[in-house]
Amino acid sequence: MKTLFTLLTLSTAAFAADKCPISGKPADSSITSTGKDGKTVSFCCEKCKAKFDAKNK
């Protein structure tokens, strides 16, 4: 049971990471930017990337 719960938790966390932080839509791994913390962030479209970049400069 612990293993099943762990797998469900990990799969949910991985799914959440594949969402655009601006729109919440599924992210396209080819559209990325680097945040102030140095982490790479993926977006659903270039418009969301531009919004992110404008806020993080």
Q: Is the pLDDT of residue 22 over 90?
A: yes
Measured CA to CA, the distance from residue 27 to residue 5 in angstroms comes to 26
Q: Is 42 helix (H, G, I), strand (E, B) or coil?
A: strand
Contact 18, 42 (CB under 8 A): yes
Fold of the domain spanning 2-55 = Ribosomal Protein L24e; Chain: T; (2.30.170)
Band (pLDDT 50/70/90 cuts) for residue 1 is low
Q: Per the confidence metrics, is the pTM higher than 0.75?
A: no
Sorted by where each begins, the domain ranges of the chain are 2-55
More confident residue, 57 or 27: 27
pLDDT value at residue 11: 43
Beta bridge partners of 42: 32
